């Protein structure tokens, strides 16, 4: 096929494909808009997390401890941030302020940090936490990377030891004549040092 | 031009298919004419992709809102620079951009293949053309920026204001340049596997392109962190979001490869491992794209309900299966040509470094995928956020930092005890002194103490290596220190460029450790009201509110608060933070309000002020003291500069002959050597 023919046919084929695809698309209707690349905020994601105040309740923690606790609770609007960070970053989110109010009420009700986390997990499920609880299957999440690293390191050591054994130099006498030393011990030491220090 | 661009896109698809078919056929049949045709098909694909891209840029810049992509990502009142950047701001455009870069890279890689590696061309060209077919087909059939609306709106929706930032205009192209560059080493690895020519030729090509990929990924990741810090307003730069993780994965395996390739070059070892790292780096780039564009993982960057996910999954699985087949059937050709002499040698240290780098990559991948795994196993969704990643990765990162210093100190082949003592004495002492001094000064955060101790150790190793090299040059050539530094680096760019990269790593880790001392404060302030806060270094800061103001500019309403700032009683100027509501040409609000952070950067600590909102003329603010953040950007820049030095081509030097020259009589040379 001549180059000119090839280019002409390619252009014709490309044109056909273009108009064919357009026709197909017209039949299917306009697809959903998928062009954005930042998350859509779910403003209706907040649910109420309440517990009756404990008898004679006093605030269970100060503001700094409460803020630290909010760093462990995930805002459910879709931002992937924790409640403290989301509510202090963007007031257009209605979810994190609602979750913050629930935390405040539980703190006022005398609940401990763990009890507050448990209350949020009861309502939202475990995805209310910024990190999975260290229990059950979740341990796999925490331990597998270290296990894999240990296994990798062990495998490398085994391979290296094997290579090292395979590389032990052997001096084979030829026709019963011992292999003469290449240099004196002192010369060999100097030579080895020079090689090692090169680069 | 827009119609030409659209047509060119479809022609590019055909050209790429042609290039793939003829290249593979030419390689298999040994027909040079088909190979040449495939090569020309690849160049033609590149030309068509350039035309297709010009078409989209034309549509964007002329505000052709009949195109859905243009209407969805731009508006008439957007600054031109962001209209231009909208090319890669959305799903379809970014896919086209990816294909454009890939076609240009492919053409360059194939055009400048060294003569010795010509045998690899048909297979490398074919592989690159197959990748191009996949990307162009994805653009044509699943994410076409030339899709038209059934009506022409008067104006477009505009770009998300958080993307209207210089960092966002240049950060994605750098990441794409990095991601896409992994395709070239992959293609040449496949070519080398197919032809069983797994010698030095393919390695040279692969190393250059891997360095290029690493360089752009480093810049892209650093710019991404900077963008997140200055634009998103949550006072951090890394959130372990799946998209961030996706960029880190190929960077980690690419870094591992750039270390292990040295062992293959110098000793002929790790040949299998290097092939695995090259293909893994490419597959991770594809896999990262799949997980972030398929919507299977929740991310702040998610392309919700994206239709390209299944295509990426299919391509990833096919590429993985093909790679496994070729590696498995070529294991004998990949046998090492030398053996390890000692567990305490530089090659062994590089291998340990590889294990840790790949271990970190695995832990990041594991954490990113664990929510899906957990849902499969337990049926309940969980979140794997920064606390998880920090728990797992901080110890691994510190191990890596330590190895960064150890590697260069150990001799090749086998380190003697005297060598170890001589090399380690000063760096170890320096690290310990740093740790003890910081402890005496009151630092009690365990991880931070270890990080600074190791940073001191690694910094001392780098200084020691430079000092030795500079002293040698001064003794031999009598050069001044600046001249000796420049010539030392210039004459051995790979080695000293690498040390500069290590210096950047030290700076980065020191900056990361600063986060342990970060302090946030929520404050509410009316006009004229003052607040006093104490930073982590004990300085007293006083903030006086200048009140809330509102204004209207080009395409946004702005609500701003000004704070007069004093540190230890000394005026530091006025710091402003804004809340912006963008609007379209009809003054209709677009997107959610965004935050414009007020930052007062300094070497020791950033003052970071976020206007979270205004209630009853009271500004609700978060004031953060973020130690050492500036050093994250500086560390990234140092790494990029080091990478550039390593990448820069080094002219072959003619070595002056040393020793003596023996002149033999004609015809006697042969006899002398036999």
**Domain range holding A87?**
63-128
Put simply, whether B351 touches A (Cβ < 8 Å) is yes
What does the alpha-carbon distance between residue B351 and residue B597 come to, in Å, rounded to a whole number?
43
Question: How far away is chain A from the Cα of B412, in angstroms, using its nearest Cα?
Answer: 6
Task: Tell me the CATH number of domain B518-630, given options 2.60.98, 3.30.70, 3.40.50, 2.20.28.
Answer: 2.60.98
Q: Is A87 a member of any domain? A: yes
Is residue A69 domain-resident?
Answer: yes
B119-123 mean pLDDT: 92
Show residues of chain B in contact with A25, CB under 8 Å.
147
Q: B515 pLDDT band (50/70/90 cuts)?
A: very high
Q: Find residues 29-58 of chain A whose CB sits inside 8 Å of chain B.
A: 30-41
The verdict on residue A176 lying in a domain is: no
Q: Inspect the interface and report whether the beta carbons of A35 and B391 lie closer than 8 Å.
A: no
On chain A, the residues whose CB falls within 8 A of the CB of B306 are 34
Give the pLDDT of residue A27: 40
B304 touches chain A (CB under 8 A): yes
Distance from CA of A25 to the nearest CA of B (A): 9
B343 with A141: Cβ contact below 8 A: no
DSSP-derived 3-state class of residue B140: helix
Structure-token pair, residue B600: 């007062």
CA of A137 to nearest chain B CA: how many angstroms apart? Answer: 8
Q: Does B72 touch chain A (CB under 8 A)?
A: yes
User: How long is chain A?
Assistant: 199
ipTM above 0.95, yes or no: no
Choose, out of A1, A12, A13, A14, the residue to mutate when testing the contact with B (most B CBs < 10 Å): A14
CATH number at residue A76: 1.10.8
More confident residue, B576 or A160: B576
- Kindly indicate the confidence band of residue B12, based on its pLDDT and cuts at 50, 70 and 90: very high
Quick: pLDDT tens for B232-250.
888 889 989 888 899 999 9
pLDDT above 70 for B329: yes
Condensed to tens digits (0 to 9), the pLDDT of residues B463-509 reads: 999 999 999 999 999 899 999 999 999 989 999 999 999 999 999 99
Which of B72, B340, B418 lies at the smallest CB-CB distance from A160? B340
Mean pLDDT of chain B, nearest integer: 89
If 0-12 CB within 10 Å is exposed, 13-18 middle and 19+ buried, where does residue B317 land?
middle
Token reading at B481: 């220190």
8 Å CB contact of A10 and B381? no
Q: Inform me whether the C-beta atom of residue A188 falls under 8 Å from chain B C-beta atoms.
A: no
8 Å CB contact of B307 and A72: no
- Interchain contact, B298 vs A72, CB within 8 Å: no
Whose structure tokens read 């455009």? B93
In a domain, A150, yes or no: no
Chain B contacts of A79, Cβ < 8 Å? 300
Count of CB atoms situated within 10 Å of the CB of A43:
14
Name the minimum distance, in Å, from the CA of B94 to any CA of chain A. Answer: 10
Residue A103 lies in a domain: yes
**Which tokens hold the place of B537?**
């270094």
**pLDDT tens, A11-44?**
555 555 555 545 444 444 333 343 344 556 677 8
**Distance to chain A for B201, nearest Cα, Å:** 23
- Rounded CA-CA distance B280/B255 in Å is 12
pLDDT digits (tens, 9 = 90+) for B89-110: 888 899 999 999 999 999 999 9
User: Is B342's Cβ below 8 Å from some Cβ in A?
Assistant: yes
CB spacing of B307 vs A34 below 8 angstroms: yes
A170 and chain B: CB distance < 8 Å anywhere? no
Q: How many domains does chain A have?
A: 1
Which residue did the predictor score with more confidence, A100 or B379?
A: A100
Q: Taking CB atoms and an 8 Å limit, are B147 and A31 in contact across chains?
A: yes
Cα separation, B417 vs B344, whole angstroms: 10
Please report the DSSP string for B585-631 in residue order. Answer: TT--B-SS-EEE-EEE--SSEEEEEEEEEEETTEEEEEEEEEETTHH
Alpha helices in B478-492 (DSSP H): 481-491
In a domain, A155, yes or no: no
For residue B377, the chain A residues in CB contact (below 8 A) are 137
For chain A positions 73-112, those within 8 Å of chain B (CB to CB) are 74, 78-82, 84-92
A36: nearest Cα among B54, B468, B69, B645 = B69
Interface membership of B388 toward A (CB under 8 Å): yes
Whether A153 sits inside 8 A of B355 (CB atoms) is yes
Residue B532, pLDDT > 60, answer: yes
Q: 3-class DSSP state for residue B282? A: helix
Once rounded to an integer, what is the mean pLDDT over residues B202-216?
Answer: 92
Tell me the nearest-neighbour CA distance from B600 into chain A, angstroms.
18
Query: Residue A156: what pLDDT?
Result: 84
Using DSSP's 3-state secondary structure scheme, residue B398 falls into: helix
Q: Is residue A137 part of a domain?
A: no
CB pair distance less than 8 Å for A30 and B377: no
């Amino acid at each position: 096929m001549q180059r000119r023919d090839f280019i002409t046919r390619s252009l014709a084929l490309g044109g056909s494909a273009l108009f064919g695809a357009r026709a197909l698309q017209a039949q299917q209707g306009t697809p959903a808009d998928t062009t954005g690349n930042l998350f859509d905020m779910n403003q209706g994601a907040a649910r109420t997390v309440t517990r009756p105040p404990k008898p004679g309740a006093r605030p269970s923690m100060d503001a700094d401890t409460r803020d630290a606790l909010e760093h462990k609770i995930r805002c459910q609007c879709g931002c992937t941030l924790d409640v403290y960070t989301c509510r202090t970053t963007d007031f257009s989110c209605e979810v994190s302020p609602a979750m913050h109010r629930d935390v405040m009420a539980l703190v006022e009700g005398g609940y401990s940090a763990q009890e507050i986390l448990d209350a949020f997990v009861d309502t939202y499920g475990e995805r209310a936490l910024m990190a999975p609880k260290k229990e059950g299957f979740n341990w796999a999440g925490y331990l597998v990377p270290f296990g894999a690293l240990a296994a990798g390191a062990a495998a490398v050591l085994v391979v290296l030891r094997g290579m090292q054994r395979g590389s032990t130099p052997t001096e084979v006498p030829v026709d019963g004549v011992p292999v003469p030393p290449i240099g004196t011990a002192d010369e060999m030491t100097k030579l080895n040092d020079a090689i090692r220090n090169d680069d | 031009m827009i119609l030409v661009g659209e047509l060119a896109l479809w022609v590019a698809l055909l050209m790429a298919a042609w290039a793939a078919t003829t290249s593979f056929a030419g390689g298999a049949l040994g027909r040079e004419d088909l190979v040449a045709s495939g090569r020309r098909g690849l160049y033609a694909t590149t030309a068509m992709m350039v035309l297709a891209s010009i078409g989209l840029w034309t549509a964007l810049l002329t505000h052709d809102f009949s195109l859905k992509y243009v209407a969805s990502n731009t508006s008439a009142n957007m600054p031109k620079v962001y209209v231009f950047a909208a090319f890669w701001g959305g799903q379809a455009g970014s896919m086209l951009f990816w294909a454009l870069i890939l076609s240009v890279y492919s053409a360059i890689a194939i055009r400048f293949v060294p003569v010795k590696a010509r045998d690899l061309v048909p297979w490398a060209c074919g592989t690159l053309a197959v990748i191009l077919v996949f990307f162009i087909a994805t653009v044509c059939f699943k994410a076409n920026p030339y899709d038209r609306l059934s009506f022409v709106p008067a104006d477009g929706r505009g770009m998300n204001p958080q993307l209207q930032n210089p960092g966002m205009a240049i950060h994605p192209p750098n990441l794409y340049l990095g991601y896409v560059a992994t395709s070239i080493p992959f293609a040449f690895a496949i070519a080398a596997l197919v032809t069983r020519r797994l010698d030095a030729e393919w390695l040279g090509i692969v190393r250059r392109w891997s360095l290029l990929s690493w360089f752009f990924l480093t810049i892209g990741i650093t710019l991404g962190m900077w963008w997140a810090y200055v634009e998103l307003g949550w006072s951090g730069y890394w959130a372990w979001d799946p998209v961030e993780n996706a960029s880190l994965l190929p960077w980690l395996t690419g870094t591992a490869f750039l270390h292990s390739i040295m062992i293959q070059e110098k000793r002929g070892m790790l040949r299998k491992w290097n092939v695995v790292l090259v293909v893994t780096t490419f597959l991770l780039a594809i896999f990262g794209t799949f997980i972030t564009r398929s919507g299977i993982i929740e991310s702040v960057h998610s392309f919700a309900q994206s239709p390209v996910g299944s295509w990426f999954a299919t391509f990833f699985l096919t590429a993985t299966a093909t790679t496994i087949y070729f590696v498995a059937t070529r294991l004998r050709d990949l046998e090492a040509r030398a053996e390890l002499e000692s567990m305490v040698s530089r090659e062994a240290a590089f291998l340990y470094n590889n294990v840790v780098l790949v271990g970190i990559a695995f832990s990041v991948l594991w954490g990113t995928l664990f929510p899906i795994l957990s849902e499969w196993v337990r049926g309940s969704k969980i979140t794997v956020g920064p606390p998880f990643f920090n728990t797992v990765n901080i110890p691994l990162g510190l191990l890596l930092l330590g190895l960064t210093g150890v590697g260069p100190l150990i001799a090749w082949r086998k380190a003697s005890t005297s060598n170890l003592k001589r090399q380690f004495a000063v760096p170890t002492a320096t690290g310990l002194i740093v740790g003890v001094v910081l402890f005496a000064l009151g630092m009690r955060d365990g991880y931070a103490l270890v990080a600074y101790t190791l940073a001191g150790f690694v910094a001392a190793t780098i200084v020691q290596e430079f000092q030795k090299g500079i002293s040698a040059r001064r003794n031999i050539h009598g050069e001044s220190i600046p001249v000796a530094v420049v010539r030392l680096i210039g004459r051995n760019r790979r080695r000293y460029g690498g040390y500069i990269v290590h210096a950047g790593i030290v700076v980065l880790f020191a900056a990361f450790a600063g986060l342990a001392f970060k302090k946030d404060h929520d404050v509410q302030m009316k006009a004229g009201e003052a607040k006093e806060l104490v930073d982590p270094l004990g300085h007293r800061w006083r903030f006086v509110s200048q009140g809330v103001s509102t204004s209207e500019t080009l395409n946004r309403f702005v609500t701003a608060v000004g704070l007069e700032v004093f540190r230890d009683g000394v005026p530091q100027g006025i710091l402003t933070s804004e809340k912006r509501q963008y609007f379209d040409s009809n003054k209709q609000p677009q997107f959610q309000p965004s935050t414009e952070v007020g930052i007062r950067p300094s070497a020791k600590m950033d003052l970071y002020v976020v206007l979270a909102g205004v209630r009853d003329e009271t500004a609700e603010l978060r004031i953060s003291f973020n130690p050492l953040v500036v050093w994250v950007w500086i560390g990234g820049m140092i790494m990029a500069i080091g990478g550039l030095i390593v990448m820069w081509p080094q002219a072959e030097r003619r070595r002056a002959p040393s020793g003596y020259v023996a002149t033999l009589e004609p015809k006697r040379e042969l006899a002398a050597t036999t």
